[in-house]
Amino acid sequence: MVKLRVRELAELQGLNIQALANRSGVAYSTVLDLWHDRVQRIDKKTLGRISKALGVKPGELLSEEDDEKNVAPAPAY
């Protein structure tokens, strides 16, 4: 599962949601959803603005986690 690291990276810089919205030029409501990782898709332009505001590469906003809930158990023989 892919997870957004927006909150983690912003908080490392002492930024809150409003500060990141102001710095990036992205709407507060959009940053709020990104902050809480409540999005299914992200626009490339938005990804670019957020990464630039945080001083990171776009790929650094994403992490991959094992989603053990979606892994089918091994069959029992």
Q: What are phi and psi of 63, to 5 degrees?
A: -135, 160
Question: Model pTM?
Answer: 0.81
Q: Which residue from 32, 27, 37 is spatially nearest to 16, judged by alpha carbons?
A: 32
Query: Is 2-59 CATH 3.30.300.10?
Result: no
CA distance 12 to 19: 13
Confidence of residue 65 (pLDDT cuts 50, 70, 90): confident
pLDDT over threshold 80, residue 35: yes
Confidence of residue 7 (pLDDT cuts 50, 70, 90): very high
pLDDT over threshold 90, residue 66: no
Could you state, in order of their start, the residue ranges of all structural domains in the chain?
2-59
What is the reported pLDDT for 32?
Answer: 98
CA triple 74-69-46, angle to 5 deg: 135
What percentage of the chain carries pLDDT values higher than 70? 86
pLDDT over threshold 80, residue 69: no
| Average pLDDT along the chain | 92
